[in-house]
Chains A and B, each alone.
Chain A
Amino acid sequence: MKLIIKLALFLSLVAGLSAGAMSYVFQLTHPIITQAQKEAETKQLNAIYKQSHFQSVSFDHKEYPLIENIYEAKKDEKREGYVYKISTPGYGGHIVYLVALDQSGRYLGYSPIDVTTETSGFGSRVGTKEMADRINKKQIGSGIDTLSGATISSKAVVKGIEQATAHYQKHYK
C-alpha cells in the first residue's frame, strides 16, 4: 500500500513538472503562432486583391457550415468582391482554401491554405494550379469540373464553392 502511494506521488510529480514545462513553451510560442497564421492569411488575401482593405462579414454558420469566414474587399470605399474562406471535408480531413467572388461576376484567386490531409500525388492535386485553372475566371454559378484521379478531393472543393455561391447570390447579388 505504501509503495503504491509512493509511486502514485512520484508519477503525479513528474506529470505536474511536465505540464509546467509545456505551458511555459506554449506561452512562449502561442503569440508567434497566431501572428504567423494571421500574416499568412492577409498575405493570401492581398495576393487576390492588391491594395484592398479587408473586413470580416458576419453570416449564418448553421446555414452555410462549410464557410469559415467571409471578407469584404474594399478599395477606396468601392466594393471589389468577397473572399470566402472555406473548410470542406475531403478525403483525409478538411481542405481549407480561399476563393473570391468578384463584382465582375467571376470566381477569382482560388488559393489553397491546407491540403495536407489529402493523398499526396492524387487528392493533393486540388492544391495545385491544375485545380485553380478550373475555377479562376469562371462565371459565378456555372458548373466546375472535378479532377479525374482526385475525384473525392476536388468534389469537396466544388461543394464548398457551391455553398459560397449560394450565399453570395442570396445576399450580395
Chain B
Amino acid sequence: MKKLKILTNGIWKENPIFVMMLGMCSSLAISTSLTNAIGMGMAVTVVLVASNFIISLLRKIIPDEIRIPVFIIIIATLVKCVQLLMNAYTPSLYTSLGVFIPLIVVNCIILGRAESFASKNHPFDSILDGLGMGIGYTLAVFIIAFFRQIIGTGGLSFYNPFNSTQVFFDLHLFDDYAISLFKLPAGAFLTLGCILAFINSRKMKKAIKVDENLEKKGSVKK
C-alpha cells in the first residue's frame, strides 16, 4: 500500500508541473503536439528513474558536502546518453525536440527528486518515485499539448514517437480557425494558467466543503 502511494504521489498529489511547478521551461516549450509531449515525457521518465536509482544506490557513499555536484554529474551523464541514443534510434523525435533534450539536465524535477527523495530512500522506492514523477510529468505535458495543438493548429495528430511514418491518427477539425498564438510560448503560459485555475478552483471547493463539515461537527459537539 505504501509503495503504491509513492508511485501515485507524483502522478496527482505532488504532480511536478501542476502542483510543484517544476521544470516549466522545457514543458512549456515542447508541449506543441501530442507526439512531442509523449516523446519528451518518456525521455524525462527514463532519466528520472535511472538517476533516482543510481543516486539512491550511492546515497551512503556520496559525501554530504559535494552531493549536489555529484548529482549533477550523474544526471548530465544520463541525459547525454539518452540524447545519443535518441539521435541514433529516434531521429525524427530528436529533431523535433531539438535543444530541449540536453536541457533535461537542468530540469529541476530531476535534481529535486534526487535531493528530496532518492538521497534519503531505498533504491526500489526511488525507482517507484521516479516512475510516478515521470508519469505525472508526461500526463501534465500531454494535457497542455492537447489544448495547445487543438487551438493552435485546428487539429489533433499523434505519431509513433519512435517512427514518424507510423501515424496513429491525424485529424483536421477546423484548420481555418487556428490561433497560432497557442503554438508560441505565450500560448503555453495562457494554457497552463487556465488549467491551473481550473485545478485550484476545484481544490478550493473541496477545502471549503471540508471546512464546513468540520464546523458542523464542531457545533454538534458544543
Contacts and interface: CB of A to CB of B under 8 A. Distances in A.
A26 interface: yes
Interface stretch (A32-40, A57-65, A71-79): A32-40
Interface in A1-48: 3, 6-7, 10-11, 14-15, 18, 21-22, 25-26, 28-30, 32-33, 36, 40
Interface residues of A, number: 26
A33 B84 contact: yes
B81 interface: yes
Chain B: number of interface residues, binned into ranges: 20 to 34
B32 A120 contact: yes
Given A6-B63, A32-B89, A40-B91, A11 B70 contact: yes
B180 interface: yes
A29 B87 contact: yes
Contacts of B183: 120-121
Given A10-B63, A18-B74, A122 B84 contact: no
B184 A120 contact: yes
B56 to A, nearest CB: 15
Given A7-B66, A10-B66, A22-B77, A122 B95 contact: no
B200 interface: no
Contacts of B89: 32
B95 A25 contact: no
A118 to B, nearest CB: 11
Interface string B69-101: 110011011001100110111010001101000
Nearest to B153: A121
Contact of B95 (A10, A21, A30, A114): A114
Nearest to A113: B95
Contacts of A25: 80-81, 84-85
B152 interface: yes
B65 A7 contact: yes
Interface string B192-205: 00000000000000
Nearest to A10: B63
B91 A14 contact: no
Interface string B156-174: 0000000000000000000
Interface in A69-127: 114, 116-117, 119-122
A96 B80 CA distance: 24
A14 B70 contact: yes
Contacts of A30: 84
Q: Can you list the 8 inter-chain pairs with the closest CB atoms, starting with the nearest?
A: A18-B77, A29-B88, A32-B88, A121-B183, A121-B180, A29-B84, A25-B81, A116-B98
15 contacts: A10-B70, A14-B74, A18-B73, A21-B77, A21-B81, A25-B81, A28-B84, A32-B89, A36-B91, A114-B95, A116-B95, A116-B96, A117-B98, A119-B184, A121-B180
Given A29-B85, A119-B184, A120-B32, 20 more contacts: A3-B65, A7-B65, A10-B66, A11-B66, A11-B70, A14-B74, A18-B76, A18-B77, A22-B77, A22-B80, A25-B80, A25-B81, A29-B88, A32-B88, A36-B91, A116-B96, A116-B98, A117-B98, A120-B184, A121-B184
